[in-house]
Structure 1
Amino acid sequence: MLWVDKYRPKTLDQVMVHQEIAQNLKKLVTEQDCPHLLFYGPSGAGKKTLIMALLRQIFGTSAEKVKVENRNWKVDAGSRTIDLELTTLSSNNHVELTPSDAGFQDRYVVQEIIKEMAKNRPIDTKGKKGYKVLVLNEVDKLSREAQHSLRRTMEKYSASCRLILCCNSSSKVTEAIRSRCLNIRINAPSEEETVKVLEFIGKKENLQLPPGFAARIAEKSNRNLRRAILSFETCRVQQYPFENNQAIPPMDWEEYISEIATDIMKEQSPKRLFQVRGKVYELLINCIPPEIVLKRLLHELLKKLDAELKHEVCHWAAYYEHRMHLGQKAIFHIEAFVAKFMSIYKGFLIATFG
């Protein structure tokens, strides 16, 4: 088992980061009925860890007994029937799913599937809370229609169902949904908090950490706790005992994007654009989010770029990121950004060197 799972806090009392939030959540579900909740904050901050610990606080150990299902639904969409396939994680008391996986059909997921789940109370409560919890991931990626439908579901089935919503950015969630939830901001952990967690894991694994080693991993992880723990485990696999000057390996996908940036800088041509498209597609099919790919690619290109071009390149990166959120096929918008960058950079080289 990976350390990131092995040492994930099981209860709110075990949470090392965001202890104040954990204790407030414990107090909330102990003293009163749990409201709809919206957890938001950057990736790797600990949102899912807090949600799972909260479910255990509400339902006990039964919340950990989950099964993964790939379920097919037939949904009536006016004059036609749509087949939808979604992966769900469920226990007797909760269901977790990501409605945005259905793409532009997400509103049917909310209108039919979530509504169907919300109707049904848990079969066997054994004296525990008499409601079911639906955990919805990436609600900031839902279309406006899906979010409007979700608001109606929250109102209509609040007696038998509680929604726990999880997203990176609350600004992309409609005000109507935000106002019906208790909003909980989960900040990225500080470097000091990350070091504390890494030293705790090192102690549990009986590892000797050189002075400053955990701090270097924390700094490299950019306040992403999940990434810090994965990097720590990678270092342990690659070399132990640790050395003072041991290199912290970057993520494979980051190295790959760095190679793509180098390719773009070396040659600006239709042939190179086609090659880059294939590499970007490789990242996307390996589940690297398109926003992360575009952001990291921009970061790598800016490191190699003249200062006078940086503002223009950042402008076009923001433009294509916005277009990517409006459209469906992320690959088109990332490729368009690469093509635009090649055009700008080639024009600059011609103007400078003739």
Structure 2
Amino acid sequence: MERNLFQSLNVPLDDDDYENGNLSDEVELSDEDEWVPPCEESEDSESSDEGHTYTELAPANVNIVVPLDGTSNDPYEGEDATSSSNSIVLGKDKQTDSLLNHLRFDDKATRSARRARDVFAPMRELWDLFHTNLGKHYVAGQNITVDEQLVPFRGRCSFIQYMPSKPDKYGLKFFWASDAASNYPLRGFPYLGKEATSARSAERTMGIAASTVERLTQVFKGTGRNITCDNYFTDLKLAESLAKQKLTMIGTVKRNKTFLPVDFQAKKALPLGESKFLFRHETTLVSFQSKRPKNVILLSTTHQKPEICPETTKPDIGCVFQHIRSIIHCSQGDLSAQISSGQTVTRGL
């Protein structure tokens, strides 16, 4: 007999007996106990006979375990337990499948109308609730990093993205702003493609990358925090815009950016240990050679002086950027991808 059936019948079990297999197939009653058949009704659940008190074992309290092969361990029913009125404890796999088959995140009746305005409508309410809870009980640190994440997906979806640089080249793209010290996600949203939203005007003016950073960091305006990002997001206009909002920025810059002077766009690497600085208002640009024979270009609104780290002979901007990246190890998007790569929530066939 199953162990949990003994527990349901309130029969005391000894762990040693259970481990050694010393369990009988039936519930044994002592001479002082009385079995009340389930088909017979007693006037009282408790009756007294010669000073002894008996408690009726009500069959309604029995939890029936239904194995995956469909057989039953119900002592009151036959092999087919489908007609039993008692509560049934399903197998783990069947219970999970049942929950997945009936799990819904929104009202299907109104989904079509909402999807006409928002392609993310089936998950919008749940996502907004999750997004709101992210910032309720966490205070962001001084350094915030912005990056993108590709969630692998090949199903039917109008906003699937193709990113050849990612291990899984197809999926849903999310933008994240996270705490650099703890990798805690602070704000994020999915990229839905060329949708008609209120953010489209900003995208046309600044570009998708710059408007994304503005959108993710708008709640931190005036706090003096630093925003660190890679060369996909870094832009001169963005840095100047964030500076007006009392936010500093450090990021790598692509060599083909139009705001760079000609000598910064040159492919020829600088001599090792040599750095080239350029200043504009509150913005500093620096080009130097890292370990590889290739120039690294950094933009910063935190540094206004051509300072060099004596230990590494790198610009101080490079040391700060490398320090922040070493703290977070990788961005929130990359970290999430690493953690989720060994897990899956896809439904088996």
Task: State the TM-score, normalizing by the size of structure 1.
Answer: 0.22
Structure ranking higher in helix proportion: 1
- Computing the radius of gyration from Cα coordinates, the structure with the larger value is 2
